[in-house]
Amino acid sequence: TTKKYIEALIKMEHLSIKINDLPDEILILILKKLYNADVLYSLTGVNKRFNTIAHNLTFASQLTLFCEFDNVISRLPDPMLDRICSQILPLIHHKIKSLKLESTSMERILLATNYPNLNELGLYGVNVEKALSLFTGRLFTSIILILNK
């Protein structure tokens, strides 16, 4: 039995599974452990399969576009925010149903594209007057505005 065990170990040593070898269902289960914005940022543009997975409603419909650590909210890093606003949001804008934003980047994100299916908007660390000034003169229907000071 020791010989069989050693043979099995040798076979396993030469066995390598790459991420592309995993079925979509397994990849989605793994990616659900990450933040949706990270999935979109990391997988969009890699290849057709990863685009399809990243743009799946699982990841594209509800986006939190800020960092939170120890109850402190901060903006996404500039390179990430740049790419999300210029490349990713225009591709998935029609799939987004919920956006959670922080004060310093909210205007840029809201103006990056239109959001025809947005029905929830969470604004964090935002001055109420500033938030209301963004929406003056615009028609928003069925939007739940969550102001969290």
Per-residue model confidence (pLDDT) at position 136 = 63
Pairing relation of β-strands 98-102 and 144-148?
unpaired
pTM passes above 0.85: no
Question: Predicted confidence band at 129 (pLDDT cuts at 50, 70, 90)?
Answer: confident
Task: Go through 70-88 and write b for each residue having 16 or more CB atoms within 10 A of its CB, e for each that does not.
Answer: eeebebbeeebbebbbeeb
CA neighbours closer than 13 Å in the CB half-sphere of residue 119: 5
Residue 10 has pLDDT above 90, yes or no: no
CA distance 96 to 116: 8
**17 DSSP assignment:** -
